[in-house]
Structure 1
Amino acid sequence: MNTRLTRALASVTLFLALLGGLAFAGKAVTHMLDDGAVCVRTDFWGNASLGPEGLPVADGVKATSSTARLCQDGPSTGQRAADLGGQLPWLLFVALAMLLFSRLLDGVVKEGPFTETVARRLTVLGWFVVVGMPVASLVVGWSHSWLVASMAPIVGSGPTFDGPMELVFAGLAAVILGRIMHQGVRMREDLEGTI
């Protein structure tokens, strides 16, 4: 096994995790302190023929077309937080996943690939993806839905999932592989104990 390559990959993923964490914190702080407009796009009226009165939006909201881009010039704190909720969960999810992956690779470098530590870290990474992916997706979908509803009260579409749910299968595969590795490590230890 090429430990230099694995060590370099562990360092790169740790750097990317830290960079993602800094991007998460920076975006949260700058966005909440920003006093500009909050905009959201919805295709709720995509097939509607709109009359001269335009879209049924709340006061102070500007709508640009039937596949509407709604903008609120003086957004409330809730609207600004919902706008962040549509952006930040993915940054946090990726940063934490990269951190867990970096720890997994660090375990491979320090102890080898077929150890209890690596099996445990692989299982933790898998469960994080299995649980974190739908949670991040639901937070993004709910934030988007709430933001649209706050600007155009007639919508009320409800929360949706917004993200690549296929990653859940990759997470399940990592959990299963981690359990298999765990059993293999125990069998090897039992065999070494009998010899």
Structure 2
Amino acid sequence: MNTRLTRTLASVTYALAVLCGLAFLGTGATHMLDDGAVCVRTDFWRNATVADDLPISEGVNVSSSAASLCQESPSVGQRAADLGHELPWLLFGSLALLLFSRLLKTVLSQGPFTDAVAQRLTVLGWFVAVGTPLTGLVVGWSQSWLVGSMAPIVGSGPTVTGPMVLVLAGLTAVVMGKIMGEGVRMREDLEGTI
């Protein structure tokens, strides 16, 4: 096992986790303090021609060519919902990188084939497998709510967005963690009989 490479990778993933966490906090704070317009893209307008009698809220500008709605003076709720396309993924990425960094530190301190490593791998796998669709649902819900707040009749139900292939990666890590855990127990049983 190349400990220098593993140590470097653990440090880099921890630094990336901290950077994602700081980006999460900084983006949230600066966006909530911003007084500019809030815009959201929607597929509803893509094939429609904009007319004066469309059901949009007051202060909303519609662009059918850009398929977007923009609220000039958004409410706090609209500004918070606008964060829903960025912040959930930054938080998810930060926590996933932190769990991966902890896994690598456990590999360094206890070795790769230990029960602690198997448990950390399983926890990381469940986090990715369950966290990916939940994060995608939060993103989809916030964008749907934002569209509904600007054009009440147009708002659609929430959708799940994001890289759903990560669910398979997470489930693979869960299975590998379980296999490693069984291997560790079998090795301990074998050492106990010798």
Normalising by the smaller structure, the TM-score range is over 0.9
SS at match of 1:62: strand
Inter-partner Cα distance in structure 1 for 2:69 and 2:3? 52
Structure 1 residue 43 and structure 2 residue 43: aligned?
A: yes
- How far residue 56 of structure 1 moved from its aligned partner, in angstroms, is 3.2
Inter-partner Cα distance in structure 1 for 2:85 and 2:75? 16
SS at match of 1:44: helix
Inter-partner Cα distance in structure 1 for 2:29 and 2:66? 30
Q: TM-score, normalised by structure 2?
A: 0.96
**Structure 2 counterpart of 1:102, one-letter code:** S
- How far residue 55 of structure 1 moved from its aligned partner, in angstroms, is 4.4
Corresponding residue number in structure 1 for 2:30 = 30
Corresponding residue number in structure 2 for 1:15 = 15
Corresponding residue number in structure 1 for 2:173 = 174
**Paired residues for 1:82-161 under 5 Å:** 82-161=81-160
| Runs (5+) with no aligned partner, structure 1 | none
**Structure 2 counterpart of 1:178, one-letter code:** G
**Structure 2 counterpart of 1:148, one-letter code:** V
Structure 1 residue 6 and structure 2 residue 6: aligned?
A: yes
Q: TM-score, normalised by structure 1?
A: 0.95
Do the aligned residues in 2 keep the contact of 1:138 with 1:162 (CA within 8 Å)? yes
How big is each residue's C-alpha offset from its partner over 1:36-79, in whole Å with a ceiling of 9 and x where there is no partner? 1111111112222444x274321100112255221111100110
Larger CA deviation: 177-186 vs 54-63: 54-63
Do the aligned residues in 2 keep the contact of 1:43 with 1:66 (CA within 8 Å)? no
Do the aligned residues in 2 keep the contact of 1:13 with 1:99 (CA within 8 Å)? yes
How big is each residue's C-alpha offset from its partner over 1:70-102, in whole Å with a ceiling of 9 and x where there is no partner? 111110011011001121000000000000000
Do the aligned residues in 2 keep the contact of 1:44 with 1:67 (CA within 8 Å)? no
**Structure 2 counterpart of 1:37, one-letter code:** A
Corresponding residue number in structure 2 for 1:65 = 64
Do the aligned residues in 1 keep the contact of 2:50 with 2:62 (CA within 8 Å)? no
SS at match of 1:81: helix
Matched positions, count: 194
Inter-partner Cα distance in structure 2 for 1:66 and 1:4? 53
Inter-partner Cα distance in structure 2 for 1:3 and 1:68? 51
Inter-partner Cα distance in structure 1 for 2:178 and 2:89? 27
Inter-partner Cα distance in structure 1 for 2:46 and 2:68? 11
Do the aligned residues in 1 keep the contact of 2:84 with 2:139 (CA within 8 Å)? yes
How big is each residue's C-alpha offset from its partner over 1:107-154, in whole Å with a ceiling of 9 and x where there is no partner? 111111100111000000000001110110000000000001111112
Larger CA deviation: 172-181 vs 59-68: 59-68
Inter-partner Cα distance in structure 2 for 1:67 and 1:157? 18
